[in-house]
Amino acid sequence: MNVVVGITGGIAAYKAVSVVRALVLAGHDVHVVATENALRFVGRPTLEAISRNTVHSDLYEGVAEVRHVAIGQAADLIVVAPATANTIAKLASGLADDLLGNTILASTAPVVIAPAMHTEMWQNPATVANIATLRGRGITVVGPASGQLTGRDSGPGRMSEPDDIVAAALSITRPQDLAGRRITISAGGTREPLDPVRFIGNRSSGRQGVALAEAAAARGAAVTLVTANLEIAAPRGVTIQKVSTTLELEATMAAASTDADVVIMAAAVADYRPETVAEGKIKKETQGDVLDLRLVKNPDILHGLVERRPVGQIIVGFAAETEEDPEALLALARGKVARKGCDLLVVNRVGWSEGFATEGNEVVIIDRAGDIVGEASGSKRSVADHVLDLIARPY
Least distance in angstroms from the C-beta of 208 to ligand C5P: 11
Q: How far, in whole angstroms, is CA 265 from its chain's centroid?
A: 17
Q: Strand 360-367 and strand 372-379: pairing?
A: antiparallel
Which span (59-67, 261-269, 278-286, 379-387) binds ligand C5P, by CB under 6 A?
261-269
Can residue 265 be called a binding residue for ligand C5P (CB under 6 A)? yes
> Under DSSP, is residue 188 helix (H, G, I), strand (E, B) or coil?
strand
Which span (93-101, 130-138, 295-303, 322-330) binds ligand C5P, by CB under 6 A?
295-303
Element housing 198 (H / E): strand 198-200
> Under DSSP, is residue 33 helix (H, G, I), strand (E, B) or coil?
strand
Can residue 98 be called a binding residue for ligand C5P (CB under 6 A)? no
Residue-wise over 23-35: b if at least 16 C-beta within 10 A, else e? Answer: bbebebbbbbbbb
Least distance in angstroms from the C-beta of 65 to ligand C5P: 53
Q: How far, in whole angstroms, is CA 210 from its chain's centroid?
A: 7
Least distance in angstroms from the C-beta of 343 to ligand C5P: 12
For residues 33 and 342, which CB has a smaller minimum distance to ligand C5P in the complex?
342
For residues 163 and 321, which CB has a smaller minimum distance to ligand C5P in the complex?
321
Give first-to-last CA distance, the chain, whole Å. 27
Q: Which of residues 5-64 bind ligand C5P (CB under 6 A)?
A: none
Catalytic residue among 130, 202, 348, 361: 202
Least distance in angstroms from the C-beta of 381 to ligand C5P: 19
Which span (132-140, 211-219, 312-320, 352-360) binds ligand C5P, by CB under 6 A?
312-320
Nearest to 266 by CA among 375, 389, 361: 361
For residues 71 and 265, which CB has a smaller minimum distance to ligand C5P in the complex?
265
Q: Which of residues 219-238 bind ligand C5P (CB under 6 A)?
A: none
Nearest to 267 by CA among 305, 297, 295, 221: 305
Least distance in angstroms from the C-beta of 228 to ligand C5P: 10
Contact letters (x/-) for ligand C5P, 353-392, by CB under 6 A? ----------------------------------------
Residue-wise over 290-310: b if at least 16 C-beta within 10 A, else e? Answer: eeeeeeeebebbbbebbeebe
For residues 57 and 257, which CB has a smaller minimum distance to ligand C5P in the complex?
257
Cα angle value 205/363/326 (rounded, 5°) = 120
10 Å CB burial of residue 277 (0-12, 13-18, 19+) is middle
Can residue 319 be called a binding residue for ligand C5P (CB under 6 A)? yes
Residue of 106, 185, 269, 384 that binds ligand C5P (CB under 6 A): 269
Element housing 81 (H / E): strand 77-83
Which span (49-57, 84-92, 135-143, 265-273) binds ligand C5P, by CB under 6 A?
265-273
10 Å CB burial of residue 77 (0-12, 13-18, 19+) is buried
Least distance in angstroms from the C-beta of 297 to ligand C5P: 8
Active site residue 202: yes
> Is omega for the bond preceding 196 within 30 degrees of 0, making it cis?
no
Contact letters (x/-) for ligand C5P, 77-96, by CB under 6 A? --------------------
Residue of 41, 122, 199, 318 that binds ligand C5P (CB under 6 A): 318
Q: Strand 239-243 and strand 262-265: pairing?
A: unpaired
Which residues of this chain interact with ligand C5P, rule CB under 6 A?
Answer: 265, 267, 269, 271, 298, 300-302, 317-319, 336
Q: Which residues are catalytic?
A: 202
